[in-house]
Structure 1
Amino acid sequence: MKIPFSPPYIDQDVIDSVSESLSSGWITTGPKVKALEELVQEQTGAKRTLCVNSATSGLMLSLKWFGVGSGDEVIIPAYTYAATALAVIHVGATPVMVDVEDDFNVSISAIENAVTEKTKAIVPVDFSGWPCDYGALQNLVTKVSIRDKFCPNSDKQKALGRILLLADAAHSIGATYKGRNSGTLADLTVFSFHAVKNITTAEGGAVCIALPEPFDCGSEYALMRLMTLNGQTKDAFTKTKAGGWKYDIVLPGMKINMPDVCASIGLAQLRKYPSLLLPERKRVAEFYVDNFRQYDWALIPPLRGQESESSYHVFALRIEGITEVQRDEMIRLISEKGVAVNVHFTPLPMLSLFKEMGFKISGYPQAYANYSKEISLPIYPQLTEDELAYIVGSVAEAYSCVVLEKEESEAGI
C-alpha cells in the first residue's frame, strides 16, 4: 500500500473554480482574491483579512507595517519552521528564540524572561494547529512591567503602546481558543495556504487584522494592501477600467499579492471547510487516538481540551522512551512499508544558518525532547479506514522492530 503524506484536496469544485478564473480573462489579483478575503473574514470573525502570496510574506508585511527593523528584537519559539525566523531576518530585525512546552507551543515564562527594551513583537506559533495560550500572551503584553520596557520608534508602535502580538497561525485555520476562532486571537494573525495546508491556494497566505482601538482596521487593511502592490495607488484590475490608467507610487512596497487563479482554489475548498474538510481531518485524528491508545509508548498530541480545539493539521505522534536515532530508524521502516511520514520540525538551533548565528540546541531542552521522538503521520480527508489501520500497524511494527526486538536481543531472550 502506498500512502502519501499530504496530497492537496482537489475535487471537481476546485477544478471548476480554477477553470472559471482562467476563462474570465483575469488571473492576477482581482475579484476572486477579494471573495476569498471576505470568506476568511466571515469564517474567522476577523475585522479584516488581506490575502498575500505566502505566510512568510504575511509575517514580513506585518512586521514592516509595525515598523520593525534594524536594532529591534522579535521573540519566536525555537521549535518552528524556518520561515518564522526568516521573516524577522528579512526585515532586518533579530530573532530571539525561546524554548517551548510539552504541548509543542511556546513557553510564556520563557518569553517573559526574554523581553528587553528592544523587543517589538512576539510571534507565537500554533504548532500543528493547536492554539497557543493567547489569554496568557495577552496578559503578558499588557502587563505593566512589560509595557514599561516597550520603546516605540514608529507611529504604529506609539499607537499600540506595547509589544505587537503577531500569531504565526500557518497551521491553525479552523482552530478555536476559549470559544474564539484562530484569526481573532492576536493583533495580527497569519495563515498559510501552502500546498500541504488544510486550505490551499497552491502558494499563498492571509493576514487577519484584529487590532484594538485606536486603530481603524479598514484603514490598516488599505495600507497593507498598498504595501503588497509596490506601494501603487491602483491595482492592476482597477487600472484596466476605462480611464483608470493613472497611478502613483506612494511608499516602498513589496510585490507579494495573491493572484485570482490561486484564490480560486482556496475559495472552492474554504466553502466546504467547516462542513466537510475540517470534520474529515478530525475523523482521521480520532481514529489515530482510538487506535494508538492501546500502546503505552504512544504519546497522543494535544487536539482538544476544555478551552481549545486543534485544526487537525498535523498528527504529531511522539514515541515514549526512544532516542533520535531510534526515531529515524522507525521512520525508515515505516517508509519501507509505503507510508510517507514526516518530522515537524527540526528545531531552528539545529539548522546550519542558526548555528552560525550562535544558537545552540542545548539551550532549548524541551524543543529537542519533542523533536527527537516525534513522527508526523498522514492526516487528510481522503484517507480511508483501511489506510489508517495500515498506518497504525506500520508504526507499531516499526516500534516492535526498533525497540522491543532490540530489548529482547540485549536480554538474551
Structure 2
Amino acid sequence: MIPIAKPYLIEDDALAAYHTILSGWITQGPRVQEFEEKFAEYTGAKYAVAVSNCTTALHLSMIVAGIGPGDEVICPSMSYIATANSIKYVGANPVFAEVNEFYNLDPADVEKRINHKTKAILLVHQIGMPADIDAFTDLCSKYNLKLIEDAACAAGSVYKDKRIGSHSELVCFSFHPRKIISTGDGGMITTNREDYYSRLKLLRQHGMSVNDRIRHSSDKVIFEDHIEIGYNYRMTDIQASVGIKQLEKLDWIVDQRRIIAMAYHEGLKDIQSITLPHEEEGYFSNYQSYSIYLKEDFPIYRNELMQKLLEKGIATRRGIMNAHRETAYKLLTRKVKLPRSEDLQDRSILLPLYVPMSPQEIDFIIGTLKGLIESNVIHY
C-alpha cells in the first residue's frame, strides 16, 4: 500500500529524543528554547513560541489579538475544523468566506463580509500554497482588523521572497505527522511583537511568572506568581529535540516534495479533465499535499475513483473539508452558501506525497490513474 503521507523521521531524530530523555529534562526546557530560537531565525521572525499543537497556537493567538465574545472573525470554511474551532474557543463567531481556485481565501469575498463586528481575518495557507498575504494585510489596514495566519501546512513555503512566518504579527504552525516536519504533535507561533511574545509564553504555562528552567537553575529561592488564567499548552523537550533535527532538514524535505510534485505535473499535464495545482509568480509551495480537481467531464465518480485506486494499493483522501458542512457547525451555518468551496471539496482528490517516494511509486500512481480514466470503467 502506498500511503497518502508519512513523516520523514530518521536515526538522528530518534537519537536526539534518546539523549534528551537521558538528560533528565524532558518537559519544556532548554531544547524548547533552542527550537524556538532556530525556528524564528529560519522564518525571519523576531520571536517564536512553541506550544502543544497548532490548534493551541491559534487559540492563544486569538487571545493576545484581543478577540473575544461577540466578535466575528472571517476565515475559510475550507480548512480543517480546528481553524473555526479556535475562534469559538474565545467566544467569537467564525464567518465563513469563499475561496479561490487555489483553495485559499478570496479577498473580494472576504471584504463583502466585513461589518462592525469583524475583528480579525484568519488566513489559511491551504495545503502549503501561500495565500495572498498582501491583499489581506491591505484589508486589515483599511478596516482596522487583526490578521492571523494559520500556517499549519506552510512551514518552508515562501511568499514574495520571504518565508511564511515573517509577514504578520501572529503566524501559527503545526508539527503533526501529516505536516512537512513533525515532532509527533506540536505547534509554533511566530511574531515580531515583543508584547505578544511575552504574553504567549505566560499563557502557554498557566500564566506562570517564572518558568521551570529559570527556577531550577537559580541559586536563590524563587516563588512564582500566576499573573493571569493560563493554559497547559507546553511543548516537551523531547519533542523539541526532534524538532531541532527536523528543522535542519526542512529545506531538503521541501526540495524533495517539490521534485515529486513536478513529476506529478509532468505525468498528469495531458489529462484534460483534471486541473493541477498552480503557483503564481512570487508564490512558492512546500506541497504539503497534492490536490487534483476533477472537472465536470471527468469520466469517473470521485469516490469510486478513490475506491479503485485503493484496490490498486494507492491511498488517497477527499478534497479539503468544509467546516460548515460538519455536524458541529450545521445548526450555526444553515444559511451559509459557499458553492466554490463545496465544489472543490466534492471534486478534489489528494494524491500520495511524502519523502521518500521512489520514481517507481510515482510512475505507478500516474499510470494507474491514467489507466482508470482511459478504461472509462465508471460513467456519469
Q: Give the structure-2-normalised TM-score.
A: 0.96
Once structures 1 and 2 are overlaid, which stretch shifts more, 37-46 or 321-330? 321-330
Alignment of 1:72-111 (within 5 A): 72-111=71-110
Partner of 2:257: 281
Partner of 1:369: 343
Alignment-mate amino acid for residue 231 of structure 1: G
CA–CA separation in structure 1 for the residues paired with 2:340 and 2:299? 14
Partner of 1:149: none
Contact 2:99 2:105 in 1 (8 A): yes
CA–CA separation in structure 1 for the residues paired with 2:164 and 2:322? 24
Contact 2:300 2:373 in 1 (8 A): no
Alignment of 1:334-349 (within 5 A): 334-349=309-324
Partner of 1:35: 34
CA–CA separation in structure 1 for the residues paired with 2:292 and 2:335? 25
CA–CA separation in structure 2 for the residues paired with 1:406 and 1:394? 15
Partner of 1:112: 111
What is the deviation of 1:322? 5.7
**344 and 202 in structure 1: CA distance in 2 versus 1, 3 angstrom threshold:** farther
CA–CA separation in structure 2 for the residues paired with 1:38 and 1:176? 20
CA–CA separation in structure 2 for the residues paired with 1:168 and 1:244? 40
| Aligned counterpart in structure 2 of residue 193 of structure 1, from 167, 175, 179 | 175
Once structures 1 and 2 are overlaid, which stretch shifts more, 309-318 or 235-244? 235-244
| Aligned counterpart in structure 1 of residue 308 of structure 2, from 324, 328, 333 | 333
Alignment-mate amino acid for residue 305 of structure 2: M
What is the deviation of 1:323? 7.9
The reply to whether residue 291 of structure 1 matches residue 267 of structure 2 is: yes
Contact 1:165 1:187 in 2 (8 A): yes
What is the deviation of 1:244? 4.6
What is the deviation of 1:220? 2.5
The reply to whether residue 164 of structure 1 matches residue 141 of structure 2 is: no
The reply to whether residue 178 of structure 1 matches residue 178 of structure 2 is: no
The reply to whether residue 230 of structure 1 matches residue 212 of structure 2 is: no
Percent identity of paired positions between Structure 1 and Structure 2: 29
Partner of 1:150: none
**Cα displacement string for residues 43-69 of structure 1 (whole angstroms, at most 9, x for unaligned residues):** 110121111101110110011112211
Question: What SS class does the counterpart of residue 318 from structure 2 fall into?
Answer: coil
Question: What SS class does the counterpart of residue 124 from structure 1 fall into?
Answer: strand
Question: What SS class does the counterpart of residue 301 from structure 2 fall into?
Answer: helix
CA–CA separation in structure 1 for the residues paired with 2:230 and 2:141? 31
CA–CA separation in structure 2 for the residues paired with 1:33 and 1:344? 34
Contact 1:324 1:373 in 2 (8 A): no
CA–CA separation in structure 2 for the residues paired with 1:384 and 1:360? 46
What is the deviation of 1:238? 2.4
**Cα displacement string for residues 200-228 of structure 1 (whole angstroms, at most 9, x for unaligned residues):** 11111110103xxxxxx234212210111
CA–CA separation in structure 2 for the residues paired with 1:244 and 1:340? 57
Alignment-mate amino acid for residue 120 of structure 2: A
The reply to whether residue 221 of structure 1 matches residue 197 of structure 2 is: yes
**21 and 355 in structure 1: CA distance in 2 versus 1, 3 angstrom threshold:** same
The reply to whether residue 301 of structure 1 matches residue 262 of structure 2 is: no
Contact 2:104 2:126 in 1 (8 A): yes
What is the deviation of 1:394? 2.4
Alignment of 1:262-281 (within 5 A): 262-274=239-251, 276-281=252-257
The reply to whether residue 383 of structure 1 matches residue 323 of structure 2 is: no
Question: What SS class does the counterpart of residue 173 from structure 2 fall into?
Answer: strand
Partner of 1:66: 65
**232 and 108 in structure 1: CA distance in 2 versus 1, 3 angstrom threshold:** same
Alignment-mate amino acid for residue 201 of structure 1: T
CA–CA separation in structure 2 for the residues paired with 1:139 and 1:317? 31
CA–CA separation in structure 2 for the residues paired with 1:135 and 1:315? 25
What is the deviation of 1:179? 1.1
What is the deviation of 1:378? 1.3
Alignment-mate amino acid for residue 321 of structure 2: T
The gaps in structure 2 that reach 5 residues or longer are none
What is the deviation of 1:24? 0.8
CA–CA separation in structure 2 for the residues paired with 1:324 and 1:105? 27
Alignment of 1:137-148 (within 5 A): 137-143=136-142, 146=143
What is the deviation of 1:237? 2.3
What is the deviation of 1:406? 4.1
Partner of 1:54: 53
Partner of 1:155: none
Partner of 1:392: 366
What is the deviation of 1:283? 0.8
The reply to whether residue 318 of structure 1 matches residue 277 of structure 2 is: no
CA–CA separation in structure 2 for the residues paired with 1:238 and 1:244? 11
Partner of 1:21: 20
The gaps in structure 1 that reach 5 residues or longer are 147-161, 211-216
CA–CA separation in structure 2 for the residues paired with 1:183 and 1:324? 41
CA–CA separation in structure 2 for the residues paired with 1:80 and 1:180? 23
**Cα displacement string for residues 312-351 of structure 1 (whole angstroms, at most 9, x for unaligned residues):** 1010111222689810111111111111111241211211
CA–CA separation in structure 2 for the residues paired with 1:290 and 1:244? 65
CA–CA separation in structure 2 for the residues paired with 1:190 and 1:322? 38
Contact 1:323 1:372 in 2 (8 A): no
What root-mean-square deviation, in Å, do the aligned CA atoms of Structure 1 and Structure 2 show?
1.7
Once structures 1 and 2 are overlaid, which stretch shifts more, 390-399 or 245-254? 390-399
The reply to whether residue 243 of structure 1 matches residue 243 of structure 2 is: no
Contact 2:300 2:377 in 1 (8 A): no
What is the deviation of 1:359? 3.5
**322 and 206 in structure 1: CA distance in 2 versus 1, 3 angstrom threshold:** farther
